Structure formats: structure tokens, C-alpha cells
A and B are shown apart, each in its own frame.
Chain A
Amino acid sequence: MTILLVLAAAGFGAGVFGSLLGLGGGVLIVPLLTFGFGLPFREAVGVSLVCVIVTSSAAAGVYLERHLANMRLGMLLEVFTVSGALVGGLVAFLLPDRVLAGLFAILLVYTGVTMMLRGATARGDAGPVVAAEGPAGPAEAAGAFRAALGGPGYRPARLGVGIAGSLFAGMVSALLGVGGGIVKVPLMHLVMGIPLKVATATSNFMIGVTGAASAIVYLMRGGIDPLVVGPTAVGVFAGAMVGSRVAQRIELRFLRLLFAAVMALTALQMALRALG
């Protein structure tokens, strides 16, 4: 009973923290389950994938209602995130836990640095994001299709890079149990010229399907424990609901610093595990 409550509380904390920082929560859940509850890395990834789908589905519904997520662009890129997830899910069962822990340590460092940079950008540039205009396609039909993938005031540029990046994001998601937003949001915003809010909403929209593709591979291979998923997912869902409601009232600068410190410490632990 105590472990059940502690697990739900840990999920709740990951949900609140993830929601406040705009993360799916996977980057927090995997270390929590491996270091806090002694779960093998791959089992923690399986549970985390389900939790990531929970937060994504809940948030994506809201984003779609507000017409922030670009469903057409999301569905194009999903073909490639799902392909990456399929490959990543299969590769995850071939790699030793130590290698996965090493990769996760790298992801944590990248996430921590990105979060700090995002904080610095938010302080330095509070103005609206202006979307880049994408170059016209070689043929009229291709140009029309690209235009249909755009939205008010923007049109996706560098689709090829976006597709390659989506493939990579899907692999990262399946290998490490994260949503992959940390790859997709900068990719869409900085490379493809999608406005930041739309990129965030569209990335979130895509996470559910990408996570489901990965989770199905884990599920079919007996890599998801429903007894751990239950309390963790319920906790994450409740935490994300609370986090989204208090986000406007919380000073995020301190939270980002705390997050970076936690990421650095966790990355060190993961690296030590990778090195045996």
C-alpha cells in the first residue's frame, strides 16, 4: 500500500514538474523508476511511454480545441516518427541496459542545456515569433501540398530535414521512453519555421501516436508492467492537470535552475550506471 502511494506521488510530482516545464514527463519518470524504485531500465521505459501517451492525449485534445496544433503537418511527420519508433522499439531490446543508460545521460544533458537556453531566450526576447516563409516547391502540386500543411501566416520550410529529424525523434522516443518533444519542437520551430506555439502543440499531438507505436512493441514483448503503470499513470495525469492550472502563478526561473541541477545529477548517475 505504501509503495503504491509513493509510486502515485512520484508520478504526480513528475506530472506537475513536467507540465510546468513543458515536458511530457518521460525524462523525469525513467530516472524516478530506475533510481527510486529499482526498476530495470527497459521496464522503466515501457511504463514511461504509457505515461507520455497519457499527458500527450490529454494536452493534444485541448490544443486541437484551440486550433493550435497543425494536424496535417503532424500527420505527415507522424509517418516518420512512427517509423523511427518501430526501429527504436526493436533496437531497444537488442541493446544492453548500460548502453541505454549512457544514451539517456546524453539526453538529460541536452535537455538541461536546452531548458536553460529556453529560459535565457524567454527573458531576452518576449516578442512574438515570426515564422519563416518556406521556399516554393519544384512543382505546383508539391507547392500546393506544402501550402496545405501550413497555417495562418506560415508555411513549413525544409520538409526533408523535418522528416529526417522526425525519424530520429521517433527512435529517441522508443529507445529512451520520452515523448521526443525536446527534438521535435526545436526542429519544427528553428528549422522548419513553424511558430513556437504551433510547434509545441503539434509535437504534443504527435507524441501520442509515436508513443503508442513504441509502447505496442514493448507490450508485445512483455516489457510493460500494468501494476506499475496504473499508479504512475494516474499520478502523472493528476499532476499534469494541477501543473497546467498553477503554471501561470509560478516563477519558472527558479524552477528551471532546479531542473537543470536535477538533470545534471541524474545524468551523472546514469553515466555512472553506463560505465558500470
Chain B
Amino acid sequence: MTVPAPVGAGSLTARAARVDSRIARILRVGTLVSIGLLTIGVAFMAAAGRSPLDGSWPALDLGRIPGDLLALRPEGFLWLGLITMLATPLVRVAAAVIEFIAGGERRMAGLGTAVLVLIAIAVIVAQRTAAA
């Protein structure tokens, strides 16, 4: 039994290639920025003679990050690098959703949105269970 080709399959290939390239750029830039920030944080740790295993594990406080960055404290760079790293794949999903909407691929856009909703649920559930 043959399966009919998807509607617009002919034009999908060129557009899909363009989308792939855009998403690839997001992943590359996100990775390089986060690794850059982590490297700076590690360099400041080394300069300050701090051991990663000394037990002085700083809690995540988003409001403190700008101050830590300005004061050149390693925590600021490490947290920002870590958050950038975690955000990179999510930005990639959001960008794909926008591309799918623009291309009229509603089902794919819905799948991407579902992933983002699940991540939001993960944040809320983790926050609630951590507080409990």
C-alpha cells in the first residue's frame, strides 16, 4: 500500500534545510557562550584559589548574578553559564515552533509547544516539591 506524499512535501525540503541551519546556529552560539562563561568562572575560581569540592556551594539566586558578575565573582559566571547552557535547547525548541508556525506546519508547532509546556510543568512541580 502506498502512502500519499505530505502536502507541500516538495517545498518542504529547501525550507527544512534552512530551518536546520538556523537551529544549528542557535545551538552553536548558545554552546559557545555558555562554555565561554563557564571558562571565565573557572579561571576566576583558579585565581581565587577556590576548590570545587570545598563545600561552599552557592545557592542559585538570580537577583545576585548581576552583582556577582560586576564584582568578578566566579559564582556569577558559573551560574550564568549554566543557565545559558540549560536554556540553549529550549530556545532551539521555541525557534523551531516559530519556524513551523511560519511554514504552516501546525502539528509540528503543537509538538514543540507541548515540549515547552512540559518543561514549564517541570519547573513548577520541582519548585513545589522542593518547597514541601
Contact = CB atoms under 8 A, between A and B. Distances in A.
Interface of A: 1, 3-4, 7-8, 37-39, 50, 53-54, 56-58, 60-62, 64-65, 67, 69, 71-72, 75-76, 78-79, 82-83, 85-86, 89-90, 93, 135-137, 140, 143-148, 155, 208-209, 211-213, 215-217, 219-222, 224-231, 233-234, 237
Contact of B96 (A75, A224, A228, A233): A75
Given A57-B88, A227-B50, A234 B35 contact: yes
B17 interface: yes
B89 A209 contact: yes
A144 B20 CA distance: 21
Interface of B: 1-7, 9, 12, 16-17, 19-21, 23-25, 27-28, 30-31, 34-35, 38-39, 41-42, 45-46, 49-54, 56-60, 74-75, 78-79, 81-82, 85-90, 92-93, 96, 107-108, 111-112, 114-115, 118-119, 121-123, 125-127, 129-130
A233 B49 contact: no
Contact of B60 (A56, A211, A219, A234): A219
A34 to B, nearest CB: 13
Contact of B42 (A4, A61, A140, A143): A4
Contact of B122 (A71, A86, A145, A211): A86
19 contacts: A38-B53, A54-B34, A57-B89, A58-B31, A64-B24, A67-B16, A82-B122, A93-B129, A136-B2, A144-B7, A147-B9, A209-B93, A216-B119, A219-B126, A225-B57, A226-B41, A227-B58, A233-B81, A237-B31
Given A57-B30, A67-B20, A216-B126, A143 B3 contact: yes
B84 to A, nearest CB: 10
A64 B38 contact: no
A53 B59 contact: no
Contacts of A79: 111, 114-115, 118
A48 to B, nearest CB: 13
Closest 5 CB pairs of A and B: A208-B89, A220-B126, A64-B24, A226-B78, A61-B27
Contact of A54 (B31, B122, B123): B31
A75 B6 contact: no
A65 B18 CA distance: 9
A75 B110 CA distance: 10
Contacts of A224: 82
Nearest to B52: A227
B107 A54 contact: no
B81 A230 contact: yes
B67 to A, nearest CB: 16
Given A58-B27, A72-B16, 17 more contacts: A8-B42, A57-B88, A60-B24, A60-B27, A71-B16, A71-B19, A75-B111, A82-B115, A86-B118, A135-B1, A136-B1, A144-B4, A147-B6, A226-B79, A226-B82, A233-B81, A237-B35
Contacts of B51: 1, 3-4
A227 B115 contact: no
Which of A1, A57, A211 lies at the interface centre, i.e. has the most chain B CB atoms within 10 A of its CB? A57
A160 B40 CA distance: 45
